[in-house]
A and B are shown apart, each in its own frame.
Chain A
Amino acid sequence: MKKDLLGISDLTRDEIYLVLDTAEAMREIAERPIKKVPTLRGKTVVNLFYEPSTRTRTSFEIAEKRLSADTLNIAVAASSVLKGETLVDTALNIEAMAPDMIVLRHASSGAGHLLARLCKSRIINAGDGMHEHPTQALLDAFTIREHKKRIEGLKVAIIGDLLHSRVLRSNALLLTTLGAEVWVSGPRTLMPPAVERFGVRASTSVDEAVADADVIMLLRIQHERMNGAFFPSVREYFNTFGMTTARMARAKPDAIIMHPGPMNRGVEIASEVADGPYSVILEQVANGVAVRMAVLYLLAGGEGD
């Protein structure tokens, strides 16, 4: 592993499998009477979150605590960032207190790379703008592998707000590296230009993307990143792209439904689908802790292969 985990693009195929296999071992810890191992005793991990996040921050914090690391949460709403401090200054001040790792969530793409250059601490990207969200893609792959026993050769349909989605980028990179066939669908206005460069096949027809799919992954409509009218109305979006039981019928009978959360029910996903028997959305959350434990453990070692 490299010093930092900034994106799936940092990982080789073998390293991806190493993370998934290690997460497999980590998952058992959650079933013990004492859900804690002494592995990261004496290590300090700072969770630096510049964007609101419940799932990812909580997931990282639980993972750190289960490995016995000392954790510190800095939520920007209550920090000196509001007093005008820049990311670089905040990072250098945190670095001066000698943490071992910094988990960073930031609205700007590449914020993790900036920190990685400045800091001796290992940086884990917990989502940077519209760029990458590597631990999300790893936990998605873990969940898919658990259900389908493989990733190679699967058809995965990713549907929703592709333009603003770091989850799409990380997942497309990871799934195609492991040999899955990835289809994406959504309104033209929410597709990044030349989306095929991620190694995916694009269609504005959900039905085409979903046909015979093994996995359907829905992405949230990110109203907060939209500074224009990308589609006429939420209702029209749901009618054209929302995942319903009728649309699901085109996928394989044993297809699973995934969503990185938070869900907009009645926008990208119908409630009946989100709560359906094929939905693995809450398993994704549970697996997230194990995958993040694996990443923390593997990064805490030396560099190299």
Chain B
Amino acid sequence: MDADRMARTLARIAHEISERNRGIEELALVGIRTRGVPIARRLAEAIKDINGVDVPTGALDITLYRDDLMRHAVGPQPLVRRTEIPFSIDDKRILLVDDVLYTGRTIRAALDALIDFGRPRVIQLIVMVDRGHRELPIKADYVGKNLPTSPSQSVQVHLAEVDGRDEVEITES
């Protein structure tokens, strides 16, 4: 997937969001660090272009909620970064955003984290790529692209804000 496809995919998802959610005012976007955050910001812009509404956007770091944190006997702890949700999520329709949906464990952690911030009316999941191989009963509401992969492959979403270019790449590892 190249930059052009990615832009069109995000525009499509923004339209889907606008269609499916009457009452845009109740929406809020929360991106999962690292790459869910710029995707959430781009979606906020796209929604503004369509509806003229500013959707509040936050950033969620799920490190402290990971289910594999204390299982590594050796090696340093993963880096914790700031969670920034500068609005109340109570009774909001939360759009959770991530780049790649794989085992579902990140989303499980994100749901636990979000619940600590309040009680949203609905949480919906947006991902740029769904690569299958779920280990938990989790499903995305908006998918940029379904990519059938094998577990030996690695899927990278590159974003201009983080990586200097927009591209989805599959590599053998």
B75 contacts A25, CB within 8 Å? Answer: no
A25-B61, A32-B116 are contacts. A43–B70 as well, Cβ < 8 Å?
Answer: yes
Interface string of A14-55 (1 = CB under 8 A from B): 000010011011101000111011111011000000000000
Q: What band does the interface of chain B fall in when counting residues whose beta carbon is under 8 Å from A?
A: 20 to 34
Measured CA separation A21–B73 after assembly (Å): 23
Question: Which of A25, A33, A42, A300 is in CB contact (< 8 Å) with B82?
Answer: A25
Residue ID in chain B nearest A302 by CB atoms? B74
A32-B117, A36-B116, A37-B64 are contacts. A298–B77 as well, Cβ < 8 Å?
Answer: yes
Residues on the A chain within 8 Å of B113, using CB: 37
B76 at the interface (CB under 8 A from A): yes
B70 contacts A300, CB within 8 Å? Answer: yes
A302 contacts B73, CB within 8 Å? Answer: yes
Smallest beta-carbon distance B94→chain A, Å: 15
Interface of A: prevailing SS: loop
A1 at the interface (CB under 8 A from B): yes
A38 contacts B83, CB within 8 Å? Answer: no
Residues on the B chain within 8 Å of A18, using CB: 79
Measured CA separation A34–B119 after assembly (Å): 11
A24-B82, A25-B61 are contacts. A34–B116 as well, Cβ < 8 Å?
Answer: yes
Residue ID in chain B nearest A23 by CB atoms? B80
B77 contacts A301, CB within 8 Å? Answer: yes
How many residues from A make CB contacts under 8 Å with B? 28
Residues on the B chain within 8 Å of A297, using CB: 64, 77, 80
Measured CA separation A227–B173 after assembly (Å): 67
Measured CA separation A77–B75 after assembly (Å): 38
Measured CA separation A21–B82 after assembly (Å): 9
Interface string of B47-89 (1 = CB under 8 A from A): 0000000000000010011000110111111011111100000
Residues on the B chain within 8 Å of A303, using CB: 74
Smallest beta-carbon distance A97→chain B, Å: 19
B74 contacts A304, CB within 8 Å? Answer: yes
Residues on the B chain within 8 Å of A22, using CB: 79-80
B151 at the interface (CB under 8 A from A): no
B76 contacts A37, CB within 8 Å? Answer: no
A89 at the interface (CB under 8 A from B): no
Residues on the B chain within 8 Å of A67, using CB: 64
Residues on the B chain within 8 Å of A21, using CB: 79
Residue ID in chain A nearest B78 by CB atoms? A301
Question: Which of B69, B74, B75 is in CB contact (< 8 Å) with A39?
Answer: B69
A1 contacts B76, CB within 8 Å? Answer: yes
A33 contacts B80, CB within 8 Å? Answer: no
Measured CA separation A32–B84 after assembly (Å): 11
A38 contacts B65, CB within 8 Å? Answer: yes
Residues on the B chain within 8 Å of A298, using CB: 76-77
Residue ID in chain A nearest B77 by CB atoms? A301
Most buried by B among A18, A42, A67, A301: A301
Smallest beta-carbon distance A20→chain B, Å: 12
Residues on the B chain within 8 Å of A32, using CB: 116-117
Residues on the B chain within 8 Å of A38, using CB: 64-65, 112
A25 contacts B76, CB within 8 Å? Answer: no
Interface string of B147-173 (1 = CB under 8 A from A): 000000000000000000000000000
Contact residues, A287-305 vs B (CB, 8 A) = 294, 297-298, 300-305
Contact residues, B84-102 vs A (CB, 8 A) = 84
Measured CA separation A193–B171 after assembly (Å): 62
B77 contacts A25, CB within 8 Å? Answer: no
A26-B80, A28-B83 are contacts. A33–B116 as well, Cβ < 8 Å?
Answer: yes
Question: Which of B76, B81, B83, B84 is in CB contact (< 8 Å) with A302?
Answer: B76
A39 contacts B64, CB within 8 Å? Answer: yes
Pull 17 A–B residue pairs with CB atoms less than 8 Å apart, ordered by A.
A1-B76, A21-B79, A25-B80, A26-B80, A28-B83, A32-B117, A33-B117, A37-B64, A37-B113, A38-B65, A39-B65, A300-B70, A301-B72, A301-B77, A302-B73, A302-B77, A303-B74
Query: Which are the 8 A-B pairs with shortest beta-carbon distances?
Result: A301-B77, A302-B74, A37-B64, A25-B80, A34-B116, A39-B64, A302-B75, A25-B82
